[in-house]
């Protein structure tokens, strides 16, 4: 494959020199931070690609690293629209390093899906999603007010890069580890693995379960969906929310965007981000008011240990340890999206195996958010 791609590269360059008219879009990526980025996604507005190459065929192009001549995995992101919105590239960039990428009019090699999301009507309106690291689910109206009801984000741990959601629902035995992980995480009446809810008069004001879902993109490198909720009463404040959740290949954390609509005397609504905890006496916690929450659970027999965490760029107003969860509070504005990140890791996956590694991962993730990669197209 490398020889084949190298041949394409050399032929196209030769033709460009020969005719003096060939112009191939060049994408420059710069990492100005001291943090190496590995297998991260960068998003490039499609309009910038069209300016560089107005005739590009969305069904026939590949992206190549100019120095290594390796093909770069990509996805066209639609965000629920009919036309392409962004070009997503999965790249690695060394600390204080840079990349030069070229776009050629040639068929890209097939890319196996690394993310997936779907509505699960056969299991009481679950909505489940995953990437090559971890899986999650949220609960719908069919589960509401039953003995199985729960409020927050559930975690399905796994130790394989393969997608497992469909297979686990098909087997209907996902509380047992069949060799690739399981669902043993306990959400209950908490925010689970990084859920958010209004925090009014010193209490969390939970909504009901989601009423409708919509998939906006579904892999291979990013899956995005929206969950809508019925209006509810948050201690005298009428509140409605739409949640847009994305999961990228290669990460432990979801990007979570909440768009709140509410009727309140001010334009701001207090909210809490929470992580469910267990009953141990001394908990392994990270409570950083700069915007990082982490919890490393006690071992759960043969099931192992799950770490959960949440990250926001904005400082938190307060952090607190409650009976069944830890929380960090902030404020959201009416009709203004609020973005944060939350997710989980499993020690038996073999990559993050203790609390120090998990807490370092969360803090590093925040540092990366504060120092985004710089991308240009010409």
Summarize pLDDT for 302-350 with one digit per residue, the tens. Answer: 999 999 999 999 999 999 999 999 999 999 999 999 999 999 999 999 9
3-class secondary structure, 168: helix
168 phi/psi in degrees, rounded to 5: -70, -40
Residue 377 lies in a domain: no
End of a domain among 109, 132, 147? Answer: 109
Is the pLDDT reported for residue 62 higher than 90? yes
Q: Is-contact 79 257, C-beta < 8 A?
A: no
303 phi/psi in degrees, rounded to 5: -70, -25
The reply to whether 93 and 122 lie within a common domain is: no
The reply to whether 211 and 305 lie within a common domain is: yes
3-class secondary structure, 355: helix
Residue 378 lies in a domain: no
The reply to whether 229 and 333 lie within a common domain is: yes
Q: Supply the range of the domain harboring residue 51.
A: 2-109
Alpha-carbon separation of residue 115 from 156, 217, 288 (angstroms): 14, 10, 30
How much of the chain exceeds pLDDT 70, in percent?
Answer: 94
The reply to whether 166 and 304 lie within a common domain is: yes
Is the pLDDT reported for residue 22 higher than 70? no
The reply to whether 59 and 176 lie within a common domain is: no
* Residue reference for tokens 């989980």: 344
Residue 17 lies in a domain: yes
Is the pLDDT reported for residue 5 higher than 80? no
Is the pLDDT reported for residue 10 higher than 90? no
Once rounded to an integer, what is the mean pLDDT over residues 280-304? 97
Tens digits of residue pLDDT in 329-341: 999 999 999 999 9
What's the distance, CA 222 to chain centroid? 8
Alpha-carbon separation of residue 241 from 57, 174, 238, 327 (angstroms): 38, 30, 10, 19
The reply to whether 286 and 320 lie within a common domain is: yes
Is the pLDDT reported for residue 16 higher than 80? no
Q: Which of residues 193 and 6 earns the better pLDDT score?
A: 193
Residue 202 has a pLDDT of: 95
How much of the chain exceeds pLDDT 90, in percent?
Answer: 92
Count of CB atoms within 10 A of residue 8's CB?
Answer: 16
Q: Which is it for strands 237-248 and 268-276: parallel, antiparallel or unpaired?
A: unpaired
What is the CATH classification number for the domain harbouring 354?
Answer: 2.70.98
What is the CATH classification number for the domain harbouring 36?
Answer: 2.60.40.1180
The reply to whether 99 and 121 lie within a common domain is: no
Tens digits of residue pLDDT in 229-240: 999 999 999 999
Is the pLDDT reported for residue 20 higher than 60? no
* Residue reference for tokens 């990669």: 373
Q: How many CA atoms lie within 13 A of 77 on its CB side?
A: 23
The reply to whether 288 and 148 lie within a common domain is: yes
Residue 172 has a pLDDT of: 94
3-class secondary structure, 7: helix
Mean model confidence pLDDT for the chain: 94
Burial class (CB in 10 A: 0-12, 13-18, 19+), 54: exposed
End of a domain among 71, 94, 109? Answer: 109
- Measured distance CA(222)–CA(272) in Å, rounded: 26
Is the pLDDT reported for residue 80 higher than 70? yes
Once rounded to an integer, what is the mean pLDDT over residues 219-244? 97
Once rounded to an integer, what is the mean pLDDT over residues 203-232? 98
- Measured distance CA(105)–CA(54) in Å, rounded: 12
3-class secondary structure, 59: coil
Is the pLDDT reported for residue 265 higher than 90? no
Q: How many CA atoms lie within 13 A of 170 on its CB side?
A: 4
The reply to whether 256 and 313 lie within a common domain is: yes
Residue 7 has a pLDDT of: 52
Kindly indicate the confidence band of residue 266, based on its pLDDT and cuts at 50, 70 and 90: confident
Tens digits of residue pLDDT in 138-187: 999 999 989 999 999 999 999 999 999 999 999 999 999 999 999 999 99
Residue 36 lies in a domain: yes
Angle 15-18-21 from CA coordinates, rounded to 5°: 75
Number of folded domains that form the chain = 2
- Measured distance CA(337)–CA(232) in Å, rounded: 19
Is the pLDDT reported for residue 120 higher than 50? yes
End of a domain among 92, 109, 126? Answer: 109
The reply to whether 176 and 282 lie within a common domain is: yes
The reply to whether 201 and 174 lie within a common domain is: yes
Residue 174 lies in a domain: yes
Residue 350 lies in a domain: yes
Residue 375 lies in a domain: no
Residue 44 lies in a domain: yes
259 phi/psi in degrees, rounded to 5: -115, 105
Residue 71 has a pLDDT of: 97
Nearest residue to 362 via CA among 322, 307, 314: 307
Is the pLDDT reported for residue 133 higher than 80? yes
Once rounded to an integer, what is the mean pLDDT over residues 116-135? 97
Token pair for 194 = 């990084």
Kindly indicate the confidence band of residue 132, based on its pLDDT and cuts at 50, 70 and 90: very high
The reply to whether 157 and 58 lie within a common domain is: no
- Measured distance CA(101)–CA(178) in Å, rounded: 41
């Amino acid at each position: 494959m490398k020889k084949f791609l190298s041949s394409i590269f050399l032929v196209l360059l030769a033709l460009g020199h020969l005719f003096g008219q060939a112009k191939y879009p060049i994408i420059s990526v710069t990492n100005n931070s001291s943090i190496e980025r590995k297998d991260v996604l960068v998003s490039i507005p499609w309009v910038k690609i069209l300016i560089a190459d107005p005739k590009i065929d969305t069904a026939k192009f590949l992206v190549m690293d100019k120095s290594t001549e390796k093909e770069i995995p990509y996805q066209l992101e639609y965000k629920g629209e009919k036309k392409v919105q962004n070009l997503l590239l999965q790249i690695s960039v060394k600390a204080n390093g840079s990349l030069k990428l070229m776009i050629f009019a040639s068929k890209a090699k097939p890319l196996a899906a690394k993310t997936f999301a779907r509505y699960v009507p056969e299991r009481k309106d679950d909505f489940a999603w995953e990437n090559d690291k971890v899986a999650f689910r949220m609960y719908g109206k069919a589960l509401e007010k039953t003995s199985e009801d729960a409020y927050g984000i559930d975690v399905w741990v796994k130790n394989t890069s393969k997608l497992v959601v469909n297979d686990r629902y098909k087997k209907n035995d996902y509380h047992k580890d069949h060799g690739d992980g399981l669902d043993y995480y306990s959400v209950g009446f908490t925010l689970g693995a990084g859920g958010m809810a209004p925090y009014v008069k010193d209490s969390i004001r939970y909504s009901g379960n989601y009423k409708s879902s919509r998939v906006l993109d579904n892999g291979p490198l990013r899956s995005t969906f929206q969950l809508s909720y019925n209006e509810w009463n948050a201690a005298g404040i009428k509140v409605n929310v739409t949640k847009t959740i994305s999961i990228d290949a290669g990460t432990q954390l979801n990007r979570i965007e909440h768009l709140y609509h509410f009727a309140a005397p001010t334009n701001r609504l207090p909210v809490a981000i929470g992580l469910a905890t267990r009953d141990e006496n001394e908990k392994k916690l990270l409570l950083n008011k700069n915007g990082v929450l982490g919890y490393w659970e006690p071992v759960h027999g043969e099931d192992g240990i799950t770490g959960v965490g949440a990250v926001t760029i904005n400082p938190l107003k307060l952090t607190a340890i409650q009976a069944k969860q830890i929380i960090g509070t902030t404020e959201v504005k009416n009709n203004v999206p609020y973005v944060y990140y939350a997710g989980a890791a499993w020690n038996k996956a073999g990559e993050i195996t203790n609390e120090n590694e998990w807490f370092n991962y969360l803090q590093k993730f925040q540092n990366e958010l504060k120092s985004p990669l710089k991308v240009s197209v010409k």
